Amino acid sequence: NAGVMQNPRHLVRRRGQEARLRCSPMKGHSHVYWYRQLPEEGLKFMVYLQKENIIDESGMPKERFSAEFPKEGPSILRIQQVVRGDSAAYFCASSPRSLAGPYEQYFGPGTRLTVT
């Protein structure tokens, strides 16, 4: 059973470009979470999604950031018009469908975004 997959693992963008980060959850998992980790800092929750629904986006910046988890395909975190401050590691995690959750989350290897 493959774990959580993220791609690309490393992404370099110039200021003003768009960054698209992809996350495929573990098989059987229908909940996806995105976190950002700045150098030498802790994980910051960004958004929690189920298929075709955003459940909690309280950690998402109000502008330039968006996330989706379509019925088919991976979850996408999209950052428009990137700035240097967006440089960070972006981790995706997944968990099973909650009946009596919450369940622990399993993390992907992360995407390291560098904005030049």
Partner 1 sequence: RKEVEQDPGPFNVPEGATVAFNCTYSNSASQSFFWYRQDCRKEPKLLMSVYSSGNEDGRFTAQLNRASQYISLLIRDSKLSDSATYLCVVNPGFGNDMRFGAGTRLTVKP
- Interface residues toward partner 1, by CB under 8 A: 31, 33, 35, 41-45, 48, 55-56, 89, 91, 95, 98, 101-110
Torsion of CA 70, 111, 56, 53, to 10 degrees: 0
Closest CB 48 distance from partner 1, rounded Å: 5
In the complex with partner 1, which residue's Cβ is closer, 14 or 102?
102
In the complex with partner 1, which residue's Cβ is closer, 80 or 98?
98
CB burial of 64-86 (b: ≥16 within 10 Å; e: otherwise) equals: ebebbbeeeebbbbebeebeeeb
In the complex with partner 1, which residue's Cβ is closer, 57 or 68?
57
One-letter amino acid at 92 equals C
